[in-house]
Structure formats: C-alpha cells, structure tokens
Structure 1
Amino acid sequence: MLRKSLVVLLACTVGGIAPVLSAAAVTVAAPTTSSDGAPAVGSTPEATINTLDGVLLKSMQGGRRLGYSGRYRIVAPVVQKVFDYRRIAALTLGDYWQKLSPEQQNEFVGVLADLTAATYAARFDSYNGEHFAIVGSQALQPGAEGVFSTFTEHNGKVHRFDYILQKDGDFWRIVNVVADGVSDLSLRRAEYTETMQKKGFAALIAHLKAQIAGYAKGS
C-alpha cells in the first residue's frame, strides 16, 4: 500500500525529481533526537514532518484562545523553515518562473509562504484529541525521500498526508504534499499557470493575497 502511494506521490510531483524508486524497503520512521532528547529539526525527513505536525497541534490546541493572528504567529516561522518555497515556486510556475525578475520571484516566494501559514492557521483552529502519526518513509533517490503520515480526527476518521522532501544542505525540506491522494503542487500549478497566461503576474499576486485576507477575515 505504501509503495502504491509512493508511485502516486512521484507522479504528482512536477519535474526536478526523477521517478526512480530505490531498492530500499519502506521503513517505519524513527525520529532523530538532539543531545537534549528533542527532535533534531530537519536533520531527517521524518524530523521535518514531526516539526510541522507539532506546530499544527500547537495551533489546534491554542484554538480560539490564540485566535487566527496568534495561530499564524506560531505556524508561520515553522512553515517558512520546513517548506522549500523557492523550489515549489519554480515547479508551480514552470516556464513562467524564469520569465520573472528576481524581485518578482522573491515576492512570489514570500506570498506562497504567507498563504501556507494562513491556510494552516485558519484550518487547524481547534483541538479535540486529534493526532498525527508517521507510518513510513522511503528513499526515492539520493537527496529525495517520501514520508507517509496520517491525521486522525476525534471521530476516528483518518486522512493521509504523503510528502516528498529534498535535502537542502543539511536540512530536509518539503516540496510537495499529497493530501488524501490530491497533490497540492499539481493543483497550484494548474491554477497559477492559467492565471499567469490569462491575467499576468500582478493578477496572480493579487489573487493569492486576497486568499490570505480571506483566511484572516473568515477566522
């Protein structure tokens, strides 16, 4: 089952990561720890996912007490660290990415990071015993790995979150998330390239900022 999901995960990731399965077996994750016993953030793909899951639980547990802005302040620094937004931006925009100026590229990367934090802060807003669990991982090729995890609601319903991560120096960062079989990267690529083609870069940025404002207002 994990191997089948890995194939889907690879197929949903656009460019840059060759679809080569390693001979290594799927392994159950064992988080790396630092000298004080805490997870060594980003030192392994599993540690990166544990870091993300931990801050989302913290956001949920803060709930209304923190409010949207409080949850955003907790989530934003972590998602900035665990996602490779420049890589995601290039994969999302495809050929349009190279046509942007450095200033436009930096603006787009920043808005993507803000949108991710806003989405998490708005959606992970209450806690009633929900929990995350890493169920396995597999090397895809040198410097790329898939991590398989679940999110269980208080009523027992289980959602699947599969991640592709790439190594960036000594740190593992997320480049794609497949939630219940739906690739975030593929959805964004379809939406954003269509907007770029029809309306241009300024319209795309305005659209994403409107989404961010909508999350803030709706919460």
Structure 2
Amino acid sequence: MFKKALSFLLIATMLTTVTATWAEQPHQQDPEQVITILQETLIQAMQQGQQIGYAGRLKLLAPVIEQSHDLATIIRTALGAHWAGLSTEQRQAIIKTFSEHSIATYADRFDQHDGEHFTIIEQRQLPRERILVRSQLVQADRTTITFDYVLHYVGNQWRIINIVVDGVSDLALKRAEYNAVLQKDNIETLIGILEDKTAQLGRN
C-alpha cells in the first residue's frame, strides 16, 4: 500500500513540475526550450519508469507530448491525399487515435534509465519558416543516437512535426505504413490497427 501511495505521489509531483514549466512562459519558448522540456520529461520517465509503471509514464508524458508535438499536422501529413477524402468525424477519430498511440509509444519505449542523457547540438533555420533542433542521446557506453526535430510555429508555440532518428524520418515511415493500409482498406481499418497497437503496448 505504501509503495502504491508513493508511486502516485511521484507521478503527481512530476506532473506538477512539468505543468509549471510549460506555464511559466507559454508564448515565449523557443524551439530549443520545447525540445529541452520534452527531453527532460523523457529522462524523468526513464528514471522513474519501473517504479511508476506504464500507466504512470503515460500520465507523466501525455501533457508534454501534447504541448510539444503538432499531432494533428503529423497525421494529416502522413495521410497525404487520403486526408481530403475524410469526413469531419473521420478526421477527428484518426487524430484522437493517432495521438493516443503516439503518447503510448513514448511511454512504452522510455521505460528505464541506464545513465543516458540528452545534449542539444544545434538549432538552424529550414525552408518554409521551420526550425531544426539537433540533439543526441548519449548512452552509458558513450555511443550516441541523433535526433533531428523539425518544428513549425502554430498557435503561438513551436511544435514538432517530424523527428529524424539517425537519418530515418519518422514521418516518412508513418506515411509509408498508413498509406499501405489505406490503399487496400479504409480509415476505419487504420484506426482499428492503431487502437490494437496501443492496447498491446499497455499490456507489455
């Protein structure tokens, strides 16, 4: 009982810290600050991962991912020409399902800490008024994984619209996967696939 109460206290404390950080300067965060807050929260999730469990990581990460990512733009871009043929209800359904799956994927992957830390390498301008923030995850054995975050400015805030990990575009992977489904089936099938994947993550 004590361990369970302690876990809830840890989650509440971390959520309060994260919320306060985002609220301090809601309209003044530059792209690097957005990435720094995201990565600091990912490290928290890893450090507390086994103690708070999947559900705790989900609660910790959800508000930060929703604030730092433009999930609606990501799924719209991934669907490409298929987006135009969707009804309003279908668009709302796929955005909701995709958002839940994205958050669940983070909670599943960032589950334990072995001394890793993130380091911001550079920030540079991209075409179409976008910004790239390059970061590296330095692992315990000093090997690194490079994360290139592409952000655009929307709703008075910089938000992530793509992540390139060691040269592999996450958006490109999603576009290929989702379009392969839609070429054979419909949006309801894709929604069902993503819901099943999300449910599976929660059972791991």
TM-score (normalised: structure 1):
0.79
Question: Aligned match of 2:79 in 93, 99, 102?
Answer: 93
| Cα distance in 2 for residues equivalent to 1:211 and 1:95 | 24
Please name the residue that 2:110 is paired with.
124
- Residue 163 of structure 1 aligns with an amino acid whose one-letter code is Y
Please name the residue that 1:174 is paired with.
160
**Shift of residue 143 of structure 1?**
3.1
| Cα distance in 1 for residues equivalent to 2:167 and 2:126 | 18
Question: Aligned match of 2:173 in 187, 205, 208?
Answer: 187
| Cα distance in 1 for residues equivalent to 2:64 and 2:32 | 15
Is this contact kept in 2: 1:79–1:113, CA < 8 A?
no
Distance 1:169 1:141, change over 3 A: farther
| Cα distance in 2 for residues equivalent to 1:147 and 1:134 | 7
Matched, 1:77 2:73: no
| Cα distance in 1 for residues equivalent to 2:197 and 2:105 | 9
| Cα distance in 2 for residues equivalent to 1:118 and 1:155 | 27
TM-score (normalised: structure 2):
0.84
**Shift of residue 55 of structure 1?**
1.1
Matched, 1:147 2:133: yes
**Shift of residue 140 of structure 1?**
1.2
Q: SS at the partner of 1:128? A: coil
Q: SS at the partner of 2:73? A: helix
Please name the residue that 1:59 is paired with.
45
User: Unaligned stretches of 5+ in structure 1?
Assistant: 1-35
Please name the residue that 2:198 is paired with.
212
User: Unaligned stretches of 5+ in structure 2?
Assistant: 1-20
Q: SS at the partner of 1:94? A: helix
| Cα distance in 1 for residues equivalent to 2:35 and 2:176 | 26
| Cα distance in 2 for residues equivalent to 1:141 and 1:44 | 17
Please name the residue that 2:142 is paired with.
156
**Shift of residue 155 of structure 1?**
1.8
Is this contact kept in 2: 1:39–1:47, CA < 8 A?
no
| Cα distance in 2 for residues equivalent to 1:209 and 1:123 | 17
- Residue 172 of structure 1 aligns with an amino acid whose one-letter code is W
Question: How large is the Cα RMSD of the aligned pairs?
Answer: 1.7
| Structure with greater contact order relative to length (CA < 8 Å, sep ≥ 6) | 1
Q: What percentage of aligned pairs have identical amino acids?
A: 37
**Cα distance per residue 1:151-195 (max 9 Å; x no partner):** 011121200000110001320000000011110000000010110
Please name the residue that 1:102 is paired with.
88
Question: Aligned match of 1:137 in 123, 129, 133?
Answer: 123
